[in-house]
């Protein structure tokens, strides 16, 4: 099956056509770094990783951005009300986000730009919108004028129900107009930047519009985020870019449904969050990852310990299956995919249908287990098994297939080796080499064999 995605703009599944032949440009809205990410945030971030891996599996290379939102009211409040410096606060939570992404086997992004490091580009962008006649100034606050942009309403019908309530108190002309720049106020303290309209700071919708166009280009293939970002954030991001440049900003918009806890969206503002750090004390990163991938990204998923226990049991079943094989001795060179492998790929190409893909993998395991029980395993079935284990793991990434005696290899070394393998798969030799050096500096040697990477501890 050809790769297809459900595009939130048309509300239909569409066959994926990339702008360039081989490289796909993807933007995902990243974390607001004022406290630790919760498992709901990671539902969305693991979905970005799934998308990335399925694109790689389809033979594309991926250039992607997950931005770091380090300018935001909640960040400013914490800095001004607690004894903590702006950079200390934001970089602490950025590091936690990156470390947890790594623990959950999320492939590194090409760019993780901090909004605060691109202010001059944002000022330039806003100036261009003013010059174009689609933005206006009210007391140093700059707003986008939705009445001057006839295509406003890409994701929603602009009727009374959808009116945005953002920044109503700042004197904007129409309810859906939105801030591009917010003038300095007392409560901002020292967090402020100078602009042609006085001191202040860029607003969130402008941060992503500028980071996306600066780092990826004027037109990108895929823009994604959690479903809550569809309106007004993505509406407003795309309105700015498209009003200014006249072209479509992103060809496909993909949104992940929410993770629910006690029948409500898990969110920092509702205070019903479970942090990934706490969950990692109880469950392995692979269990969390499998739990997040077990539901389709467009379905709501509610958190429960029972579901995590089920994921953990699934991992045990996969491990028991793998233990039937000495993977290092099975040669798969030049062997093509069989029908199970193709069904697995079809499910993923059909709008990232992970539950169906998992079902195919477990059907395969059950079939092979029967052959093992009947003592009717053949060389061909062993080869098919190794291929499927590798293929499964290139997407779900919950088993460490290329490393022998993995029990005795520390977790951080295993993660670094997996990251290096992914970099090599992406032909990013530079990054792969840096990871090799890092692994060596931690006392391990890594060797590339016909059957994958091999780690040995330095004597
Ligand atoms: P934030 O750190 O609040 O800016 O959110 C970062 C990302 O997590 C955004 O793409 C949100 O849409 C997403 N997100 C927030 N809460 C949830 C949730 N409960 N389930 C799924 N995604 C979420
Ligand atoms: Zn964004």
pLDDT of 406 > 60? The answer is: no
Position 405 scores a pLDDT of: 47
- The answer to whether the bond into 232 is cis (omega within 30° of 0) is yes
CB neighbour list of residue 443: distance below 8 Å, 6 or more residues apart: 457, 458
Token pair of 288 as six digits: 């969390």
pLDDT grade, residue 403 (50/70/90)?
very low
pLDDT of 76 > 90? The answer is: yes
- Ligand 1 in contact with 182 (CB < 6 A)? no
> Do the beta carbons of residue 155 and residue 231 sit within 8 Å?
yes
Mean pLDDT of 409-420: 83
Provide the whole-model pTM. Answer: 0.88
> Do the beta carbons of residue 55 and residue 47 sit within 8 Å?
no
Mean pLDDT of 123-135: 98
Order across the sheet with 301-302: list the strands: 264-265, 259-261, 301-302
CA nearest to 46, candidates 220, 241, 285, 235: 285
Position 451 scores a pLDDT of: 55
- Ligand 1 in contact with 31 (CB < 6 A)? yes
Phi first, then psi: give them for residue 304, nearest 5 degrees: -155, 150
Q: Please state, in angstroms and rounded to a whole number, the distance separating the CA atoms of residues 266 and 254.
A: 20
With a pLDDT cut of 90, the percent of the chain lying above it is 81
With the most atoms of ligand 1 within 8 angstroms of its CB, the residue from 74, 226, 298 to mutate is: 226
pLDDT of 274 > 60? The answer is: yes
CB neighbour list of residue 323: distance below 8 Å, 6 or more residues apart: none
With a pLDDT cut of 70, the percent of the chain lying above it is 96
Q: CA-based angle 146:151:154, to the nearest 5?
A: 100
- Ligand 1 in contact with 44 (CB < 6 A)? yes
Q: Please state, in angstroms and rounded to a whole number, the distance separating the CA atoms of residues 387 and 454.
A: 18
Q: What is the DSSP-derived secondary structure letter of residue 230?
A: I
- Ligand 1 in contact with 28 (CB < 6 A)? no
Position 306 scores a pLDDT of: 96
pLDDT grade, residue 450 (50/70/90)?
low
Fold of 323-403: 1.20.120
Position 402 scores a pLDDT of: 52
Count the neighbouring beta carbons within 10 Å of the beta carbon of residue 409: 17
Which residues are placed with Cβ below 5 angstroms of ligand 2, an ion? 29, 208
Long-range contacts of 131-137 (CB under 8 A, 24+ apart): 132/243, 132/244, 134/243, 134/244, 135/180, 136/173, 137/197
Residue identified by tokens 């001059």 is 120
Average pLDDT, the chain: 93
Ligand 2 centroid – CA 234 distance (Å):
7
Q: What pLDDT, in 10s, does the model give residues 158-199?
A: 876 667 778 888 889 998 999 999 999 999 999 999 999 999
Let me know how long the chain is.
459
Q: Tell me the CATH class for 4-265.
A: alpha beta
Count the neighbouring beta carbons within 10 Å of the beta carbon of residue 161: 7
Ligand at shortest distance from the CA of 30: 1
Mean pLDDT of 233-241: 98
């Amino acid at each position: 099956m050809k790769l297809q995605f459900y595009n939130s703009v048309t509300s239909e599944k569409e066959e994926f056509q990339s702008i360039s032949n081989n490289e796909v440009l993807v933007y995902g809205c990243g974390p607001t770094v004022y406290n630790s990410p919760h498992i709901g945030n990671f539902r969305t971030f693991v979905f970005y990783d799934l998308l990335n891996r399925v694109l790689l599996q389809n033979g594309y290379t991926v250039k992607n951005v997950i931005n770091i939102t380090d300018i935001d009211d909640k960040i400013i409040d914490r800095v001004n009300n607690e004894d903590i410096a702006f950079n200390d606060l934001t970089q602490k939570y950025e590091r936690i986000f990156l470390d947890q992404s790594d623990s959950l086997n999320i492939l590194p992004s090409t760019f993780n730009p901090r909004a605060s490091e691109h202010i001059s580009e944002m000022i330039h962008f806003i100036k261009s919108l003013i010059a174009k006649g689609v933005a206006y100034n009210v007391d140093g606050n700059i707003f986008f004028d939705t009445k001057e942009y006839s295509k406003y309403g890409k994701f929603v019908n602009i009727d009374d129900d959808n009116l945005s309530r953002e920044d109503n108190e700042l004197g904007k002309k129409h309810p859906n107009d939105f801030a591009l720049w917010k003038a300095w106020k007392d409560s901002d303290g020292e967090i402020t930047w100078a602009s042609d309209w006085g001191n202040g700071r860029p607003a969130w919708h402008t941060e992503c519009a500028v980071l996306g166009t600066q780092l990826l280009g004027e037109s990108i293939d895929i823009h994604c985020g959690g479903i809550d970002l569809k309106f007004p954030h993505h509406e407003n991001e795309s309105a700015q870019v498209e009003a200014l440049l006249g072209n479509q900003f992103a060809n496909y918009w993909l949104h992940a449904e929410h993770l629910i806890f006690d029948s409500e969206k898990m969110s920092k503002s509702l205070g019903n969050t479970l942090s990934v750090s706490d969950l990692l004390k109880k469950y392995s990163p692979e269990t969390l990852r499998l739990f997040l991938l077990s539901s389709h990204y467009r379905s709501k998923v509610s958190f429960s310990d029972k579901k995590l226990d089920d994921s953990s049991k699934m991992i045990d079943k996969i491990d028991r299956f793998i233990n039937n094989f000495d993977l290092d001795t099975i040669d798969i060179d030049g062997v093509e995919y069989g029908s199970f492998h193709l069904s697995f790929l079809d499910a993923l190409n059909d709008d990232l249908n992970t539950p169906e893909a998992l079902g195919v993998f477990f059907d395969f395991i059950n079939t092979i287990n029967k052959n093992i029980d009947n003592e009717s395993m053949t060389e061909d079935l062993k080869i098919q098994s190794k291929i499927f284990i590798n293929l499964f793991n290139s997407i779900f990434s919950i088993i460490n297939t290329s490393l022998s005696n993995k029990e005795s290899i520390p977790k951080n070394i295993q993660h670094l080796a997996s990251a290096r393998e992914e970099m090599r798969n992406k032909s990013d030799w530079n990054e792969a080499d840096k990871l090799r050096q890092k692994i060596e500096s931690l006392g391990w040697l890594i060797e590339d064999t016909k059957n994958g990477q091999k780690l040995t501890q330095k004597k």
